Amino acid sequence: MITTVTLNPAFDKMLSVAEIQIGETNRTQNVFTSVGGKGINVAKVLRDLDTEVTATGFLGGEVAPIFVEKMKEHGIENRMVPIRECTRTNIQLYDAQGRRTELLEQGPNTTAEERTALLNEVAQLSAQSSVVAVCGSAPGGVDKPYYRELLRAAKQSGASLAVDASGPLLKAALEEHPRFIKPNRSEMLELMERDEASDGEMISFAEHLVQSGIEYVLISMGARGAALLCGDGVWRGAAPNIPVKNTLGCGDTMVASFCISLQQDLSPADMLRNAIALSSANAMTLEAAHILPRDYRALLPHCMVTKIG
């Protein structure tokens, strides 16, 4: 079983508008709504691939019943921890030119009792899981010491720990040496404390992360593919040429792919190829964090991976 941990889930609304007029009334068309947050998105993709997955994290307020129902529909085992405050709602606005504007709520505050309950839940699930993926941002009350304690609970029973975070949370995670991390380009620059860097400079920095005890570092580079670094070397993979409908959730899809790869102990080349193919399949659908298995299978032969070091 794979477990995902979403500290700050979100009820997502995608809306389309001809043109956003600041300070004016904007009439929108509802494209769709979904339950999300990075860990929830990972869980949805895993279920698209018929993989057993349990989701935990904080969940509360008027949107909680929607999450419960949607997770049931997706076949995700629900072990979310109830909280008093309301889980956030995020809005994605798409204009006629295809530009996306995001309105992201900060999220609820959590109490000490709620945080302790989640620690206990994660520790229990770790004992039943081959991989635990801790993904996304954190709500109020979650500081670095708590986050590190949560990561230790996630791997205390021998589960492989995967982390997809940014900023201070990612820096805190490095101190707990997860087996896998997936920074994108901007997150790598944050770690490097740089405004800009070449691909080669980012790869060199990631090599130091591997030497420090992170087994796999996957750098996602959007349309330019991705780079995977591990003790066996460096691999680069190119994204296939596809009709892109939506890039939202592509990074989460890569994390889902690596959860399966860690579970199956695949080679680095296959890990990277599968991740790029799955992410590309996500980009071919309008809904975030959703793939069609036939698209994934069709894309695999077109994902070229090369060892470069």
DSSP SS3 for 83: strand
Give the C-alpha distances (Å, rounded to integers) separating 86 from 58, 140, 165, 190: 10, 12, 22, 30
CB 42 within 8 A of CB 133: yes
Phi, then psi, of 90 in degrees rounded to 5: -115, 145
CB 50 within 8 A of CB 296: no
- What's the angle, vertex CA 304, arms to CA 298 and CA 305, rounded to 5? 130
How many helices (DSSP H) and strands (DSSP E) are in the chain?
10, 15
Pairing type for strands 131-135 and 305-307 reads unpaired
Phi, then psi, of 47 in degrees rounded to 5: -70, -30
Directed axis angle between helix 112-126 and helix 144-155, to 10°?
20
Phi, then psi, of 291 in degrees rounded to 5: -130, 155
Q: Is 265 tagged catalytic?
A: no
Residue written as tokens 């995608």? 14
Exactly one of 12, 48, 164, 252 is catalytic; which is it? 252
Please name the helix (run of DSSP H) or strand (run of DSSP E) that holds residue 283, with its range, or none.
Answer: helix 268-283
The Cα–Cα gap between 106 and 89 comes to 9
- 57: tokens are 């994290």
Handedness of CA 29, 33, 38, 44 (dihedral sign): negative
Q: Which residues are catalytic?
A: 252
